[in-house]
């Protein structure tokens, strides 16, 4: 299998002097197409930081990251922006839907940015249907349940058919039933040939993974 995500020797420190804290200390990770990898660890261990580095939202002090054959580390901001638009999908714990737009409009907006797939709008509408959201497609986020908001967030993340889906505590704000549905969708995303990396502290979320890694003392261990 081809590695969609390959990270090696990542180092990341926050703070300076005596207050400095190295959250990543040589962390390495590889994720293949169609694979779901869950990363667990105590609060503050650096799980979200690792996702942000993979997604090009932050930069490590050392180490290398490649996503879908493209080098992330050392890339310009313009190149990182292009990479995030076409190859990386993000799903966050707090959904981050624009409150003034309907659920479907939030999804379609991701397909209207420069560099988006030519068929992104059509794909967005298909995703809304596929995820069972058509009946609430014209509702504002404030009128949607947590599970519905999260499904719209997933649809938005998949509009440009990314090679990797990065999910940060994807079920943290959902009830058990809604959380189970979201995890089923994560699994389906991998079956489409995507690499899925999810950060979680929940056993149910880790249970859908092909591999579970623990972030401990700045390194990832099986």
What is the value of pTM for the model shown? 0.85
| pLDDT of residue 178 exceeding 60 | no
| pLDDT of residue 30 exceeding 80 | yes
Please name the helix (run of DSSP H) or strand (run of DSSP E) that holds residue 165, with its range, or none. strand 164-168
| Residue 195 belongs to domain with CATH number | 3.40.50.300
* Average pLDDT for 190-211: 79
> Domains in the chain: how many in total?
1
| pLDDT of residue 174 exceeding 60 | no
Structural domain containing residue 20:
3-221
What is the distance between the alpha carbons of residues 11 and 217, in angstroms, rounded to a whole number? 11
- Among left, alpha and beta (phi > 0; psi -120 to 50; other), residue 74 is left
Which residue has tokens 């090696």? 8
Task: Report residue 154 as tokens.
Answer: 């997933």
């Amino acid at each position: 299998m081809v590695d969609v995500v390959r990270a090696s020797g990542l180092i990341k420190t926050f703070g300076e002097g005596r207050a400095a804290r190295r959250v990543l200390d040589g962390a390495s990770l590889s994720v293949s197409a169609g694979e779901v990898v869950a990363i667990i660890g105590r609060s503050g261990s650096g799980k979200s930081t690792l996702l942000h580095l993979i997604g090009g939202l932050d930069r490590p002090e050392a180490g290398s990251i490649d996503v879908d054959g493209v080098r992330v580390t050392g890339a310009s901001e313009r190149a990182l922006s292009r990479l995030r638009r076409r190859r990386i999908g993000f799903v966050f714990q707090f959904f981050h839907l624009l409150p003034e737009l309907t659920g479907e409009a939030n999804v379609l907006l991701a397909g209207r940015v420069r560099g988006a797939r030519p068929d992104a709008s059509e794909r967005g509408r298909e995703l809304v249907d596929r995820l069972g959201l058509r009946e609430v497609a014209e509702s504002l986020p404030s009128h949607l349940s947590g599970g519905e908001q999260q499904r719209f967030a997933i649809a938005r993340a998949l509009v440009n058919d990314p090679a990797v889906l990065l999910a940060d505590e994807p079920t943290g704000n959902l009830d058990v039933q809604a959380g189970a549905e979201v995890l089923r969708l994560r699994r389906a995303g991998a079956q489409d040939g995507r690499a899925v990396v999810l950060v979680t502290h929940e056993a149910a979320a880790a249970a859908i993974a092909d591999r579970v890694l623990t972030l401990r003392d700045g390194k990832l261990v099986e």
